[in-house]
Structure 1
Amino acid sequence: VAILLWVLLEHTTLGRSLYLVGSNEQATRYSGVNTVRVQISVYVISALLGWVAAILMMAKFNSAKAGYGESYLLVTILASVLGGINPDGGFGRIIGLVLALIVLQMLESGLNLLGVSSYLTMALWGAVLILFIALQN
């Protein structure tokens, strides 16, 4: 999935338009890009990726429940911020996101092997996220 998204963002008109809309939507609109179409495309792609994630979660747990993905929310936001994606919009790279996810998974596995509680791990992720966003601003 990451490779497909990288190709989409780096080698298509939609990807370039998406970066432009993220950096300055008004200037992008004035340059002739249909920003509404770009945003709708992003929502459709996000919905499809959410659907794929839901199918994988249902396969993993052999059932369906709305709250299965809640435990991944903080890790997802933290990986995005650590991977170099600006929460205010603009530029971000897929490779940074993938590397951040790998590092976070390794840290979580290490903490789990040391016997650290999953609640303490989530609190640590929250503290790192707050610290990193504060340092960015």
Structure 2
Amino acid sequence: MGSAASVATVGLNAALAAEQARRADKKADASADRQIAALSTQNAQAEAERATRLRAAMATARARAGAAGVGGSGGSTDAILKGMTEQAEADARAEQAALRERARDIRSSSGSGRSNLLEVTSTALQGSAGRSSRSSRSLLEI
């Protein structure tokens, strides 16, 4: 009867350790989600500011071309505006890639403490075996 109680204690300890590990993993995931959401918000704000600056720069380029007598559209003015737009798009793509990389880093660092169920169970079993008077016996022997 004593061995059945020991097995039940070991099982309970393993289940409690696994549940504690799941809670810790959920907390880490929630923290990572908050960090990624904050990065996304910052990125959206930066993108809106870049778009505003691009529109202002393009308007300035058109005005300068018009003031120089070249005209606000056509030829070299269009080439300049196209170059500005392409540069802004390349910058946005680079920023998106950096954001994805940071999100991946956050996810991997939050998952680095993730508990393996086998490790949790093994630790719980070792802890229970240390408290038992029959610590040299395995569960299969009981």
* TM-score, normalised with respect to structure 1: 0.29
Q: Which has the higher contact order (CA 8 A, sep 6+)?
A: 2
* TM-score, normalised with respect to structure 2: 0.28
**Which structure shows the bigger proportion of residues in helix conformation?**
2
